[in-house]
Amino acid sequence: MNKVQRLINPLHLEGLHHEADMMRNVDVHRVLYQTCGRQASGLAKSRSCQQHKDESERNQVQRLVIFDKDGTIACVHAMYAPWIRALAIRLQNATNLDLADKLYDLLAFDDETGKFLPGLLGEGTAPQVRHSITQLLLEAGLPREKAERIMQDCYEGADMTTYGNGPIEGVGDVGHLFRVLKSKGYLIAVNTSDCRRVTEKTLDHLNVKHHVDMVVCGDDEGHLAKPHPYTAQKICSELEVHPGDTIMIGDSASDMKLGCNAGLRCSIGVLTGITTREVLKRDATYVVDNIHHALNLILQDSS
């Protein structure tokens, strides 16, 4: 054993080894802490990103509002009172028969007040109205061929008189309402029992046609009248919106039943048309005075 070896105490050497081991353990723990810290931070960021993604996807869900036309966005009484009176005069001139009272009863029109009640004109399609008028003429004793010709001539003549110069009045500020809905990301559809020619003219007159994503009319091929769910299902399918993200707004019992039958998110009845609150609330989710009050409900639901 040399001099240097004799000077080194074995116990001292053991202490040095122990201290080195402790330093190595500290370094290992430090590395593990830093690594776990980075992993935890990354996990937190990942969860945060996923939460933002989920929220963004929820906000991007496409939503749709389906509007009835007459009595909902257009005044049914102002539009159709001149039409039915013109039709009654034309039928009398063509047949030499006074059919006005029977015609008014058939289409549920009160001549004294100039208003329509729930019935064929307010809830039926244009083809159904034409068929019923033909039946009225047949019951009055006219041969079928003559009845069909007179119905066609008088019906179209009344249309030209009314819709060429007649009043088309919006129910409230339809343009403003549609602009607000579009600014909130909603799609807009119009689902009416009326014919396409009159519907397109009405939307043009109200200056809202450019806001409307789809229009379904009563004289479309293969049309099934409300409250059959066909029209709402067709709109949802073509616009690729789930029925659960779709709202129906209308003034008739058939509009409300349509919403239920098609499984829509909700149906909102308005009191600007032909139906009373008591009748609407049988199938409506909400009943409000007009489309502007309906807009408030929609905005509350989407906030």
Question: Tell me: the pLDDT tens digits for 160-200?
Answer: 555 444 578 999 999 999 999 999 999 999 999 988 988 99
Q: Give the full edge-to-edge strand order of the sheet including 186-191.
A: 214-216, 186-191, 63-67, 246-250, 266-270, 286-288
Residue 9 has what pLDDT? Answer: 47
3-class secondary-structure state, position 269? strand
pTM of the model: 0.76
Q: For the beta carbon of residue 66, count every other beta carbon within 10 angstroms.
A: 28
Residue 12 has what pLDDT? Answer: 45
**290 vs 294: CA distance, rounded Å:** 6
**141 vs 103: CA distance, rounded Å:** 15
All residue ranges of the chain with pLDDT < 50 are: 1-20, 22-23, 26, 28-29, 31-33, 35-36, 40, 43-44, 52-58, 163-165
Each residue's pLDDT tens digit, 119-163: 998 888 888 999 999 999 999 999 999 999 999 999 877 765 554
Residue 33 has what pLDDT? Answer: 46
Bridge partners (DSSP) of residue 67 are 190, 249
Residue 46 has what pLDDT? Answer: 52
| Buried/exposed 8-38: b ≥16 CB within 10 Å, e otherwise | eeeeeeeeeeeeeeeeeeeeeeeeeeeeeee
